[in-house]
């Protein structure tokens, strides 16, 4: 039986130039096998990468996921790739904030305090305490090192 849980999907980072034209504020919803576009295009190559993560979210094996499309080089020699965040609708803001923290971490901005709050967020998420988890990840975000001025 196909789950009726809604999975929200949005680009979180774009490397190179996406040939389809994804922007970071684009968004769509997957409910069962139906895809509904809220903003932006749909790329069948990107969608081909989502099956496992969507199934895991729909069956409540996870609340959120992020993944990269396979990447395209149809239009140039550079890598053109989009990283997406996927999450169940009920915890969508938590998913977005958690991914924002992870990008900060990958950009070298984590601190001991931010890592503590991220770990706490993960523990609370695993326990199904999503509101508290969102508060913890907000504290993690506040405790990231500032972005460089040239970004």
The mean per-residue pLDDT over the stretch 136-150 comes to 88
What pLDDT was estimated at residue 148? 73
What digits encode the pLDDT tens for the residues 23-56? 999 999 999 989 999 999 999 889 988 999 999 9
What pLDDT was estimated at residue 78? 63
Whats the size of the chain, residue-wise? 151
What digits encode the pLDDT tens for the residues 58-99? 998 888 898 988 777 655 566 788 999 999 999 999 999 999
DSSP the chain: -----EEEEEEEEEES--TT---TT-EEEEETTEEEEEES---HHHHTT-HHHHHHHHTTS-SEEEEE---B-SS-SS-BEEEEEEEEGGGHHHHHHHHHHHHHHHTT---HHHHHHHHHHHHHHHTT-HHHHHHHHHHHHHTSPPPPTT-
């Amino acid at each position: 039986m196909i789950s009726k849980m809604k999975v929200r999907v949005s680009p979180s980072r774009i490397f190179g130039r996406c040939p389809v034209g994804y922007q970071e504020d684009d968004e769509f919803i997957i409910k069962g096998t139906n895809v509904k576009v809220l903003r932006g295009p749909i790329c069948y190559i990107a969608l081909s990468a989502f099956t496992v993560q969507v199934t895991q979210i729909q069956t409540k094996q996870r609340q959120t996921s992020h993944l990269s499309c396979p990447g395209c080089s149809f239009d140039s020699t550079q890598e053109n790739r989009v990283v997406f965040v996927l999450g169940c609708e009920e915890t969508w803001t938590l998913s977005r904030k958690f991914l924002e923290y992870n990008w900060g971490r990958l950009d070298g901005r984590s601190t001991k305090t931010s890592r503590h709050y991220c770990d706490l967020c993960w523990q609370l998420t695993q326990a199904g305490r999503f509101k508290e988890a969102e508060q913890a990840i907000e504290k993690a975000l506040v405790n990231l090192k500032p972005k460089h001025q040239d970004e």
